[in-house]
Amino acid sequence: MSQTQIKQQAEQRFLVSLPVRAEWDEERTGRHVVVEGTTENIGPAGAIVQLQQLPAVGSCITISIQGAKGPEVTALAEVLRLVRDVRQPLVSLSVVNARKEWRGNIWKPAGILASQTASKDNESEQE
């Protein structure tokens, strides 16, 4: 296992829901697909996203995510795996390009948002 893989596995994922737009061309039909969804969790190099229509494993798709506290990031992402649950279809994505923008505008702010949400939840429980 490479050092990059070990480092990525050691870095935290944050349970944050941000709006996502995904686009790809279906391999079989060539049809252009555009769907919207939300993130389930965000890691330093990708995310798990809920989408109503799922792309094929191994395909590359374009995703646009509005940063938690910043600009929208558009990146190319590889589909790593799918969860084909009718109630909550999920896709695991690894960002292929724009990794610096992803970490700075999506992952790090998601960590801040997650900690703020946790603090508010703790305050509510103490009341």
pLDDT in tens, 50-86: 999 999 999 999 999 987 667 899 999 999 999 988 8
List the beta strands (DSSP E) in the chain.
19-25, 32-43, 46-51, 60-66, 72-83, 90-95
Higher-confidence position of 51 and 5: 51
pTM of the model: 0.81
Report the distance separating Cα 31 and Cα 38, nearest Å.
22
Model confidence at 90: pLDDT above 80: yes
Report the distance separating Cα 13 and Cα 32, nearest Å.
30
pLDDT in tens, 16-60: 999 999 999 998 899 999 999 999 999 999 999 999 999 999 999
What would the mean pLDDT of 80-102 be, rounded to a whole number? 93
- Domain architecture of the chain: domains with CATH: 11-121 (2.40.10.220)
Q: Do residues 47 and 64 make contact, with C-beta atoms less than 8 angstroms apart?
A: no
Report the distance separating Cα 6 and Cα 12, nearest Å.
12
